[in-house]
Amino acid sequence: MAENDAPAAPAEAPQRPQIPGVIAPPAPDLKWMNAATERPPRVRELGPEGFTLAMADYGSYGLAPDIWPYENDTPRGAVPARDRGLPAPYTIYDKLDVWAESCAELYEAAIREQWKPATEISWSGIEPLAEHVEASLDQIYSNISEQAYNSNAVLLGWLQYISYGFHEVKLYLATQSFDHARHVEAFRKRALANGGGLGVQSPGFFNRTVFASFKFTEFVIYNNIIRTTFLLGLCEFGQEKLARSQADRQLFENTANDLRRHLVYGVEHLRYYGLQAGEQKRRNIRTWLDRGEVMLAADLKRDKPFREAVILASGDTVAAGKEALKDLRQRQFKRYIGALEAAAYRGREAHMVPTLKEMIETP
Amino acid sequence: MAVSQEMLAELRSEGEDLDLSWLDAPAAERGLRIAPGKRGLTLEEISTGTYGDIPMQSRNQSGRMRGAAPRGDAQQTQQMWPFRSSSWSQSAMLLYEEAVQRQWSSATDVPWAELPDLPEDLEYAMSQLCTFLTQVEFIAGDVPGQYAPNVSGEFFEVGLFLASQIMDEARHLDVFRKRALVNGIGLLQAGPGAVNLLTAQDFTEMASTLHLVGEGFVQSLFRMGEMFAQTEVDKRMFRLAAQDESRHVAFGVMHMKYVMETEPERRDEIHCYLDRMEGLLGAGSAQAGLTGGGETTEALAILLGGGSTEAQINEGYMKLMAIRKRQVNEYMHRLDVVGLGDRRQKMHPMMQMLLDPSKN
Ligand SMILES: [Fe+2]
Ligand SMILES: [Fe+2]
């Protein structure tokens, strides 16, 4: 992508149509018609998934460089302007800080799989439940809604730092935040729909940890690996052990489906970072995992309403509920360790921080 | 409505270590039973009882969502805006729900396979226009994104709307990129772009510069897509994008209207933001002249005139003036709606010239 260095056409006296009081445009120079960019093949045939981003980004258009060279909003594959104007607030120019191989596919998949909480959940079919069961479900739904709002707010704040040239990453992240937004409202709606209301807020250790991420990969570890695996474990558990209605099942199932996409992004990004970062940066991963686990454990330990809600909502007796809570923690743990292994980060089980281990073994 | 004492006693006898105070004396309102309405179960419907009390001011700096029971040990972040007027828009709930219902796919909702071959100059012009659009569209995502961390759970509907706008802008970057790449031409010349919009230091400044001016002008342009779109495929693309832009503009208009009603002392301040956007501070502004840089204007003239001969380009420029006129008049209309009708006298002279006479 060479800069377009052709000399600017000399300014000419206005000779375009005159509108009283309006400056006429200069004579066209049409230099842009010779822009030195790649000519992709004309697209004529499309599969059932239509004209996808991966298809459109043919040849050099699809190649995200290791370091993005432009500081403004130059789209990848266009000739940058000679006068590029104000550099943007972007701070992330290294591909390894944001990249995941299948961003373009995840972006299209997210759009195909978007669901509409207002109209696609069987709200009318929810039957009244015993007070303590409804209240327990609502406590769990409040927690999911709150976490999703935190994810949405923090993720959106990161967009301003990611270079324009990594457009598939930005596009994918936009879908993830829209998923978070729908999780916020969907679970809030469920908590208010059936004679209940919202529960108690979470202790917030993890929320503030997500907020306090200094690096994007750090955010991804907290949000797309730790939080997502624990939420995914909860949704999978919820489908089997918590759901009392078709609406409940749909909520857990649809959310789990979204979370699996978020997890793919997290796993792929962590793997890429782990492989591409040098020794120094690679050590960050352990620091971030330690920090995330400690903060998660602090939430789990102090969140009595949540724990008791799981016990009351998932067993016919308190004893059975306690067993179910253990089962939930095991599922979450397996999801978490499985994700790290998929990201080629092995052996975490032996190095997990003791407080989180404790919360999983004796919840 | 709390759980009966018998049930609590029974649960406590089963599990002696259970606390259950959250169940015994819930601190959040309970007993709501909200059924879906005509448009499903919407945010407006669940915004009821105490859950519908949107505070004018809030000290909630934790992650607590509006209406949820607080915890004494919840941690604070001190980065949420405490005032409702900082970000609130009366239409946030409605527009968010509409956004969810009206999502579309650039991969399958635009009939790409039906795109006919056009004369080369028109294809080049379309690719140039789409290069400009793909450049600026996601700036309209980065800009609102930067404020999402400041919107507390008390005003969460604003946060949700912002997510929907950013989703829309992703699709816009993407659909125009695809349009530039589908026809065998590719992307062409980038312009100076829209990074200036990221300098907004205040949400209302953003609503003034991005929503009211920037996206407002783009919305008018897309709505006149019939004039420069050469094919049914392109017409559909601009129609779909215009629908999304209408929501973004409406959000900003309703935010500004709210600010003008509740904080009228901000009038002069807002005029300053508009001065800047209109180019009155001396720096060049895309809005006062022709949208985008020189190359995009030329591309639009070719598309509007139907070709690149001198006569066609001249005709294109004449039509472009009609588009500018409509952009400026629709801008004035938005200003009237938000309560800034006095902008008519303060507007950049180049834009003022295009204004229709005031109706009052
Ligand atoms: Fe847009
Ligand atoms: Fe927009």
Q: What is the ipTM of this complex?
A: 0.96
Q: What mean pLDDT comes out for the span B314-334?
A: 93
Exposed/middle/buried for residue B118 (C-beta within 10 Å: 0-12, 13-18, 19+)? middle
Q: Would B55 be classed as within a structural domain?
A: no
Kindly give the distance from the C-alpha atom of residue A163 to the centroid of ligand 2, in angstroms, as a whole number.
19
User: How confident is the model over B345-359, as a mean pLDDT?
Assistant: 91
Q: Does B321 touch chain A (CB under 8 A)?
A: yes
Q: For residue A261, tell me if it sits in a domain.
A: yes
On the question of pLDDT at A271 being above 50, the answer is: yes
Q: Is residue B151 part of a domain?
A: yes
The CATH number of residue B302's host domain is 1.10.620.20
Is residue B230 exposed (0-12), middle (13-18) or buried (19+ Cβ within 10 Å)? middle
Query: Would you say residue B276 lies in a domain?
Result: yes
Ligand 2 centroid, distance to B242 Cα (angstroms): 9
Which residues, listed in sequence order, are joined to residue A19 by a DSSP beta bridge?
A: A22
Residue A311 lies in a domain: yes
Give pLDDT, residue B3: 80
- Give SS3 for A74: coil
Q: What distance in Å separates the CA atoms of residue B204 and residue A124, rounded to the nearest whole number?
A: 39
pLDDT digits (tens, 9 = 90+) for B95-113: 999 999 999 999 999 999 9
pLDDT digits (tens, 9 = 90+) for A134-152: 999 999 999 999 999 999 9
Domain membership of residue B60 (yes or no) is: no
Which residue type is seen at B238?
F
Q: Say yes or no for a CB contact (<8 Å) between A312 and B131.
A: no
pLDDT of B193 over the 70 cut:
yes
Chain-chain contact of A118 with B42 (C-beta, under 8 angstroms):
yes
Please give the Cα distance from B325 to A128 (Å, whole number): 58
Q: Enter the tokens of residue B54.
A: 């949107």
- What is the pLDDT at residue B283? 55
Q: pLDDT averaged over chain B?
A: 93
Question: What distance lies between CA B308 and its chain's CA centroid?
Answer: 34
Instruction: State how far residue B226 is from chain A, nearest Cα, in angstroms.
Output: 22
Could you tell me how far CA B273 lies from the centroid of its own chain?
Answer: 17
Could you say which of A107, A135, A160 has the minimum Cβ distance to residue B146? A160
Does pLDDT of A17 surpass 60? no
Nearest to A201 among B70, B134, B136 (CB): B70
CA distance linking residue A144 with residue B340, whole number of Å? 42
Domain membership of residue A94 (yes or no) is no
Ligand 2 centroid distance, CA of B63 (Å): 28
Q: pLDDT digits over A78-110, tens only?
A: 999 988 789 999 999 999 999 999 999 999 999
Q: What are phi and psi of B61, to 5 degrees?
A: -115, 10
**Domain coverage including residue A293:** 136-361
What is the total count of domains within chain A?
A: 1
CATH number of the domain encompassing residue A215: 1.20.1260.10
**Is A254 within a domain?**
yes
pLDDT digits (tens, 9 = 90+) for B19-78: 999 999 999 999 999 999 999 999 999 999 999 999 999 999 999 999 999 999 999 988
Q: Is residue B86 within 8 angstroms of chain A, CB to CB?
A: no
Band (pLDDT 50/70/90 cuts) for residue A186 is: very high
> In terms of residue numbers, what domain contains B237?
116-349
Kindly report the nearest CA distance between residue A244 and chain B, in angstroms: 16
pLDDT classification of B244: cutoffs 50, 70, 90: very high
Interface of B with A in 105-134 (CB under 8 A): 105-108, 110, 112-113, 117, 121, 124, 128, 131, 134
Tokens of A185: 């409202």
Looking at the DSSP assignment, which residues form a beta bridge with residue A94?
A: A67
Kindly report the three-state secondary structure assignment for every residue of chain B: CCCCHHHHHHHHHHCCCCCCHHHHCCCCCCCCCCCCECCECCHHHHCCHHHHCCCCECCCCCCCCCCCECCCCCCCCCCCCCEHHHCCCCCHHHHHHHHHHCCCCCCCCCCHHHCCCCCHHHHHHHHHHHHHHHHHHCHHHHHHHCCHHHCCHHHHHHHHHHHHHHHHHHHHHHHHHHHHHHCCCCCCECCCCCHHHHHCCCHHHHHHHHHHHHHHHHHHHHHCHHHHCCCHHHHHHHHHHHHHHHHHHHHHHHHHHHHHHHCHHHHHHHHHHHHHHHCCCCCCCCCCCCCCCHHHHHHHHHHHHCCCCHHHHHHHHHHHHHHHHHHHHHHHHHHHHHCCCCHHHHCCHHHHCCCCCCCC
Domain tally, chain B: 1
Task: Give domain status of residue A46, yes or no.
Answer: no
Exposure b/e, A22-59, CB count within 10 A at least 16 = b: eeebbbbebbbbebebeebeebeebeeebbbbbbbbbe
Q: Is residue B109 a part of any domain in this protein?
A: no
**Reported confidence tier of residue A4, pLDDT bands at 50, 70, 90:** very low
Q: Is A338 helix (H, G, I), strand (E, B) or coil?
A: helix
Select the residue from A18, A60, A84, A111 to test the B interface by mutation, using most B Cβ atoms within 10 A.
A111
Task: Please report whether residue A49 resides in a domain.
Answer: no
B233-242, long-range: CB < 8 A, 24+ apart = B233/B110, B233/B111, B233/B112, B233/B114, B233/B115, B234/B126, B234/B179, B236/B109, B236/B110, B236/B111, B237/B110, B237/B175, B237/B176, B237/B179, B240/B104, B240/B109, B240/B110, B240/B175, B241/B172, B241/B175
- The pLDDT score that the predictor gives to residue B282 is 63
Buried b (16+ CB within 10 A) or exposed e, B317-349: bebbbebbbbbbebbbebbbbbebeebeeebbe
A310 touching B (Cβ < 8 Å): no
* B17 has pLDDT over 70: yes
pLDDT the model gives residue A16: 52
* pLDDT, tens digit, 9 for 90 and up, residues B248-288: 999 999 999 999 999 999 999 999 999 999 987 765 554 44
Chain B nearest-CA residue for A174? B167
CB-nearest to B182 from A33, A43, A114 is A43
Tell me the C-alpha distance between A354 and B252, whole Å: 49
Residue B283 Cα to ligand 1 midpoint, Å, equals: 24
What is the pLDDT, as a whole number, of residue A355?
A: 98
Beta bridge pairs of residue A325: none
Look up residue A344 and give its two tokens: 């080629």
